[in-house]
Amino acid sequence: MNKTAILLLILLSWGSSVWAIDTNYVGITEIKVWTAYIDIYTEAEHECMDQQKHRYNLRKEEKEMFSILLTAMTAKNKVSLNYVCSNNKPQINGVRVKP
């Protein structure tokens, strides 16, 4: 195993990655809105260390992405989430919607 691969494995094991990950296109099963953040639950499992493998976090300030996700859930559209692992939790950075 080369040094780059070893470094990548070490960074991923810390649970805080700078590389974005995309999910497959999946359905949203639940949305929970809290004071500081929003939980988005999907059929896809994330690659972060968090125990709740179907929960993705969205910052409350991301109103456009929240609106798109809520609309997609209501219309039963499939979504692909782009996320990074931050403090072992998947933080959503981008959303794609497929009719």
29-79: per-residue pLDDT in tens?
Answer: 999 999 999 999 999 899 898 889 999 999 999 999 999 999 999 999 999
Could you report the per-residue pLDDT of 67-93, keeping only the tens digit for each? Answer: 999 999 999 999 999 999 999 899 999
Token reading at 86: 């931050």
Domains of the chain are 3-98 (2.40.50.340)
Distance CA 16, CA 13 (A): 8
What's the pLDDT at 81? 94
Strand order in the sheet with 78-86: 21-22, 78-86, 89-98, 55-59, 37-42, 28-33
Token reading at 49: 């260390």
Q: What is the pTM of this model?
A: 0.77
Cβ(90)–Cβ(58) under 8 Å?
A: no
Distance CA 73, CA 2 (A): 43
Q: What is the SS3 assignment for 45-70?
A: CCCCCCCCCCEEEEECCCHHHHHHHH
